[in-house]
Amino acid sequence: MTTSGITPTPTGLTQGAATKGGIGESTLRPDGVLKVTGEFAYASDLWHEDMLWGYTLRSTVAHATIVSIDTAEALATSGVYAVLTYDDLPTEVRHYGLEIQDTPVLAHGKVRHHGEPVALVAADHPETARRAAAKIRIVYEELPVITDEASATAPGAVLVHEHRDDHHFPHVTHPNILHRQPIVRGDAEAAARRADVIVTGSYVFGMQDQAFLGPESGLAVPAEDGGVDLYVATQWLHADLRQIAPVLGLPESKVRMTLSGVGGAFGGREDLSMQIHGCLLALRTGKPVKIVYNRFESFFGHVHRHPARLWYEHGATKDGKLTHMKCRIVLDGGAYASSSPAVVGNAASLSAGPYVIDDVDIEALALYTNNPPCGAMRGFGAVQACFAYEAQMDKLAARLGLDPVEFRQRNAMEQGTIMPTGQPVDSPAPVAELLRRVKSRPLPPERQWEVAGGASDVRALPGGLSNTTHGEGVVRGVGYAVGIKNVGFSEGFDDYSTARVRMEVVGGEPVVTVHTAMAEVGQGGITVQAQIARSELGVAQVTIQPADTRVGSAGSTSASRQTYMTGGAVKNTCEAVREQVLEIGRRKFGTYHPAWATAELLLEGGKVVTDGGEALAALADVLEGEAVDLELEFRHRPTQAFDLRTGQGNGHVQYSFAAHRAVVEVDTELGLVKVVELACAQDVGKALNPLSVIGQIQGGTTQGLGVAVMEEIVVDPRTAKVRNPSFTDYLIPTILDTPDIPVDVLELADSHAPYGLRGVGEAPTLSSTPAVLAAIRQATGLELNRTPVRPEHLTGS
Amino acid sequence: MRVNFTVNGRPQEADDVWEGESLLYVLRERLGLPGSKNACEQGECGSCTVRLDGVLVCSCLVAAGQAEGRQVDTVEGLTGENGELGTLQQAFVDAGAVQCGFCTPGLLVAADELLERNPEPSDGDIREALSGNLCRCTGYEKILDAVRLAAARAEAAEEAVRP
Ligand code: FES
Ligand code: FES
């Protein structure tokens, strides 16, 4: 084998050099250069001398008893170093999970979903590992599959977790119900009697996949002390560590984790994938083991967005005021719990949307089934609800003869509105304004496919390059939607982040090093960390250390929380560093100028300056021979658990809001949709990096567009097998499917948050789906209660 | 088997290549050129896009043996001799077209081929040319911006050298 050129190794990990810019500036990503040259080391690029390749054998059936597993032939294959099954696990801790430890490291006795990991192989070539895995003989005895609420709760239904006696949630009425959260406030029955119109609707939300492009991958390197070093693409290093170490039987200090390059996440990397498997193989073989999922495996290697069935009833008076809301949201959690309990809490508490409704009767629940496990994905439970309540708003407006935007604005929540959970919204909630902004934007010109001379640019038509129409049956529709998402971890969770900041003089210049365990998954968090450090400490040079477990937890890169939480941690730690720097300055130079004792002092442009702008000392002189190095935690204000019967409680930290207007053109003959424009307005509190904020909003919008018209994991209802685990059959939007996405950013500060900022990443994923659906309904006059919309739904075939 | 081919202008040879190995695997795992990415290995995402004798291909679908004696150009070849970024690379950074960046190398190779063929592409041309490259993070708007920016910068540079 020849090796030449650059070989990425774990030590080659770097976040790149920081560029200029403080908060509020569109500072460029420090990792951008490495990413455009191809040098950035993603998890699947890691390489180690003498490494082996790991492979995971997965179940081909959804629900079965494992009668026997025979690994002899696989193990005898030349080039194979290890074959592991459940029986080879080193300790009695054989399950893991984010909230409930019910996921087996390797299947034991039973498989509960298609694609569940059953055995592991390590070999000297990935193909050798795959071929050896194919020689493992497993005898399954198939069991009936639970695939929906009816089969889950039918009398005598098979239990997905037959030994479930934990009853974490005592009000849960059936062991196949994973979690249930009612919310009752006011008197929905009585309020319904005041309604002039009542509309009901049943909605179905398909199973969406995160479909991040960088496959699940990592490299586990056995260490001399009996521990293991793991380089991996993840969203939360410390949560992984907490789940991995007990299974390996190692203290956490002997499992050292470093974040490798992450190719997108969107919630799909919150649960473990290859982490424990890679470590087990490395510890067993004594060699470094790399595991890289292919796309087929990736569809089984992470949880998906919960598919949902939603039933809603809303009432309103003639003058367009909502009277009440009742809803029931059934989420399919699949075979293992993942973060389903929290998803249920979100779906329930945000089920009324950004509207004032005093009287509600809400129930949300998640089921255990034999479908693929579902958990975190961008928008986390709020997405499914938004799809349904926004359809209801349009129905009500139509029944009342009101403009759909006008109707929403009349009921829009604002600062001070009480949520269904009883929690007041205590920061700006510009719902009506966001709608006004998307509505007042000029519409894109009609029939844009007509080019001069009468010809058609088929690329701009529904069906695009497939050249299916020249505009004959094409009609346009416009639709609106708005949504509310919580930011950060809710329901009393002790959510915190840690930052270590070091300030010293190197080569005569003051430099700052920031070290956190925050997973940069593409969102731009490292850019923002450097911007904060530059702003707070007045230095040009900031280096961001690679994220690892040598520093305290940063919490998850999810729930739109990292700029708030790790940004907040960096800010607070910088403030403490600044105090110490000023202390040193006073000690060294305080006698030279009275302002040291009397004035408000800042660090700016590499100097200590008074608030009047007078420079007192160069930081290089203050810090000469000394370094300030601090590690501190940051917490947001505490939240409460929701009451399990009434759903009351101050459960959320912060809310974020986004509105969309979709313009679509539909070929009514073939059922093809072209989204022409998808305009968004969002309140971000404070845009720390406007360029990244807009990038996040456009990306989130596109994922919502995807689930509106194309994305769905299709599970066979009879066998619970996944039918489309490939990019051939699971479609995500291409650049031809994605329209212009103009973005209007509002900055209404939240006084509780660092810099007044609001989490950005998720809100745009909520409202883009219902906006597209509303536009298609307007174009076609069809009811369309399911997402994604497929051609057959539009042509009635 | 042994495969000899030229990568980014440099002769390369890879030994012990198994017949089923893709060009993508050989570039990444045997030649230490991991710039071309492995998002699907099914020919669907374009993250592995390289040029084979100038023509865009998904290197995950090309058997390594098919590259014998031919020229392969990868994202690594877009960077100048002294490490300076090419116009397109710089434009992707400046426009904010890179988030997780996993799609970026494939998009850069495809966009480079487009601009070589069509230095002043319309938005429709850009969308058509890049429609084989999936990006899950950006929503594509900033990728369009980047290609437009690179085209404009190349045009300006051209004008600057004209007498
Ligand atoms: S990796 Fe080759 S097309 Fe996806
Ligand atoms: S930037 Fe992540 S896939 Fe394009």
B148 lines ligand 2 (CB under 6 A): no
| Cα distances (angstroms) measured from residue A625 to each of A194, A551, A578, A631, B20 | 75, 25, 17, 20, 60
CA–CA distance, B48 with B75 (Å, rounded to integer)? 10
Q: Provide the residue type at A476 as one letter.
A: R
Which one of the ligands is nearest to A298 CA?
Answer: 1
Can you tell me the distance from the alpha carbon of B147 to that of A371, in angstroms, rounded to the nearest whole number?
Answer: 42
The answer, for A317 touching chain B at a CB cutoff of 8 Å, is no
Residues in chain B, overall count: 163
How far apart (Å, rounded) are the C-alpha atoms in residues A233 and A301?
Answer: 13
- Band the pLDDT of A167: cuts 50, 70, 90: low
Residue with the bigger pLDDT between A88 and A15: it is: A88
A459 or B54: whose pLDDT is higher?
B54
> Could you tell me if A21 lies within 8 Å of chain B, comparing CB atoms?
no
Residue A16 has pLDDT above 50, yes or no: no
Q: State the average pLDDT for chain B.
A: 96
Q: Is B101 in the pocket of ligand 2 (CB under 6 A)?
A: yes
Q: Name the CA radius of gyration of chain A, rounded.
A: 27
Say whether residue B102 is in contact with chain A using an 8 A CB cutoff.
Answer: yes
Q: What is the mean pLDDT of residues A341-360?
A: 97
Residue B94 near chain A (CB below 8 Å):
yes
Alpha-carbon gap, residue A507 to B18, rounded angstroms: 51
Q: What is the whole-number distance in angstroms between the Cα of residue A311 and the centre of ligand 2? A: 35
Q: Which residue in the set B31, B98, B105 is minimally distant from A5, CB to CB?
A: B31
Which residues of chain B does A7 touch, with a Cβ-Cβ cutoff of 8 Å? Answer: 32
Question: Across the interface, which of A47, A695, A740 has its CB nearest the CB of B138?
Answer: A695
**One-letter-per-residue 3-state SS of A142-184:** ECCCCCCHHHHHCCCCCCCCCCCCCCCCCCCCCCCEEEEEEEE
Site to substitute for ligand 1 among B36, B45, B56, most atoms within 8 A of C-beta: B45
pLDDT, position A5: 32
Q: What is the pLDDT of residue B162?
A: 76
**Nearest-ligand number for the alpha carbon of A212:** 2
Give the minimum alpha-carbon distance from B162 to chain A in angstroms, rounded to a whole number.
Answer: 29
Predicted confidence (pLDDT) at residue A19 exceeds the cutoff of 60: no
The closest of A793, A705, A413, A761 to A561, measured between CA atoms, is A761
Residues 323-382 of A with CB under 8 A from B: none
pLDDT, residue B109, reads: 98
Lowest mean pLDDT among A18-27, A429-438, A493-502: A18-27
- Region label for A649, one of left (φ > 0), alpha (ψ between -120 and 50) or beta (otherwise): left
Banded pLDDT at A163 (limits 50, 70, 90): confident
pLDDT (average), residues A728-741 = 96
Element (H, E) at A595: helix A595-598
pLDDT of residue A744: 97
Could you tell me what percent of chain B has a pLDDT over 70?
99
Give contacts of B141 with chain A, Cβ < 8 Å.
698, 738, 740-741
pLDDT at A15: 43
Q: Is A797's pLDDT higher than 90?
A: no
Dihedral in degrees, nearest 10, Cα atoms B131, B137, B140, B145 = -130
Q: Is the CB of A32 under 6 A from ligand 2?
A: no
Model confidence band, residue A18 (pLDDT cutoffs 50, 70, 90): very low
Instruction: Report the pLDDT value the prediction gives residue A12, as an integer from 0 to 100.
Output: 34
Confidence grade of residue A471 (pLDDT, cut at 50, 70, 90): confident
User: Which residue in B has a C-alpha nearest to residue A34's C-alpha?
Assistant: B101
Interface test with B, best of A35, A305, A689 (most B CBs within 10 A): A35
Q: What one-character DSSP code corresponds to residue A412?
A: B
At residue A726, the 3 state secondary structure works out as coil
Contact A36 B138 (CB under 8 A): no
Average pLDDT over residues A5-20: 39
Three-state secondary structure string covering A506-573: ECCEEEEEEECCECCCCCCHHHHHHHHHHHHHCCCEEEECCCECCCCCCCCCCCCCHHHHHHHHHHHH
Residue carrying structure tokens 């087996």: A104
Q: Do A4 and B101 touch (CB under 8 A)?
A: no
- pLDDT range class, residue A454, cuts 50, 70, 90: low
Closest CA relative to residue A787, chosen from A199, A208, A150, A147: A208
* Rounded Cα gap, residues A609 and A615, in angstroms: 4
pLDDT at B29 over 90: yes
| Cis check: omega of the bond before A788, within 30 degrees of 0 | yes
Atom of ligand 1 nearest to the CA of A727: 4
The pLDDT tens digits of the residues spanning A570-579 come to 999 999 999 9
Q: Say if B48 is an interface residue toward chain A (CB within 8 Å).
A: no
Contact by Cβ (8 Å): B55, B12: no
Q: Answer whether B100 contacts ligand 2 (Cβ < 6 A).
A: yes
Total residue count of chain A as it appears in this document: 797
The reply to whether residue B136 touches residue A732, judged by beta carbons under 8 angstroms, is yes
Q: Which candidate in B47, B136, B138, B143 is best for mutational testing of the A interface (most A CBs within 10 A)?
A: B136
pTM of the model: 0.95
Predicted local confidence at residue A411, as pLDDT? 98
Closest atom of ligand 2 to CA, residue B99: 1
Mean pLDDT value across chain A: 94
What is the per-residue pLDDT for A166?
Answer: 64
pLDDT at A164 > cutoff 90: no
For residue range A212-253, list pLDDT tens digits in order.
999 999 999 999 999 999 999 999 999 999 999 999 999 999
pLDDT at A171: 73
Residue % of chain A over a pLDDT of 70? 96
Q: Which residues between 695 and 734 in chain A have a beta carbon less than 8 angstroms from any beta carbon of chain B?
A: 695, 698-703, 726-728, 732, 734
Nearest CA in chain B to A448: B124
Q: Is the pLDDT confidence value at A9 over 60?
A: no
Give the pLDDT confidence score for residue A255 in this predicted structure: 98
Predicted confidence at residue A169, as pLDDT, reads 64
Under an 8 A CB cutoff, do B38 and A292 touch?
Answer: yes
Q: Measured between CA atoms, how close is B163 to chain A, in angstroms?
A: 33
| Mean pLDDT, range B19-25, rounded to an integer | 95
Nearest to A726 among B34, B42, B94 (CB): B42
pLDDT over 70 (residue A10):
no
State the pairing for strand pair A304-305/A374-375. Answer: parallel
Residues in chain A within 8 Å Cβ distance of B90: 36
If pLDDT is split at 50, 70 and 90, which confidence band does A14 have?
Answer: very low
List Cα–Cα distances, A229 to A42, A84, A225, A282, A318, in angstroms: 16, 20, 11, 10, 65
Residue of B nearest to A45 (CA): B34
Q: Say which DSSP state A671 is in.
A: T
Q: For residues A743-751, give the mean pLDDT.
A: 96
Which class for A93: exposed (0-12), middle (13-18), buried (19 or more C-beta within 10 A)?
middle
Residue A697, sorted as left (phi over 0), alpha (psi -120 to 50) or beta, turns out to be alpha
Rounded to an integer, what distance in angstroms lies between the CA atom of residue A527 and that of residue A691?
11
Q: In sequence order, what are the beta bridge partners of A341?
A: none
Contact at CB, B96 and A699, closer than 8 angstroms? no
What's the CA gap between A694 and A700, in Å, rounded? Answer: 10
Phi-psi region of A284 (alpha: psi -120 to 50; beta: other; left: phi over 0): alpha
- From chain A, pick out residues whose CB is under 8 angstroms from the CB of B98: 29, 32, 35-36
Question: If you count DSSP H runs as helices and E runs as strands, how many of each does chain A have, helices first?
Answer: 19, 31
Using a CB–CB cutoff of 8 Å, tell me whether A493 touches chain B.
no
Of the residues B47, B51, B102, B134, which should be mutated to test ligand 1's pocket, given the most ligand atoms within 8 Å of the CB? Answer: B47
pLDDT value, residue B161: 81
Taking alpha carbons only, the member of A406, A534, A481, A487 closest to residue A678 is A481
How confident is the model over A98-114, as a mean pLDDT?
Answer: 96
Task: Determine whether the interchain pair B15/A292 forms a contact, defined as Cβ–Cβ distance below 8 Å.
Answer: no
The DSSP H or E segment spanning A389 is helix A382-400
Check CB contact under 8 Å for A6 and B33: yes
- Mean pLDDT to the nearest integer, B142-160: 94
pLDDT for residue A464:
84
Q: How does residue A449 score in pLDDT terms, banded at 50, 70 and 90?
A: confident
Q: Of A577, A511, A568, A517, nearest to A542 (Cα)?
A: A511
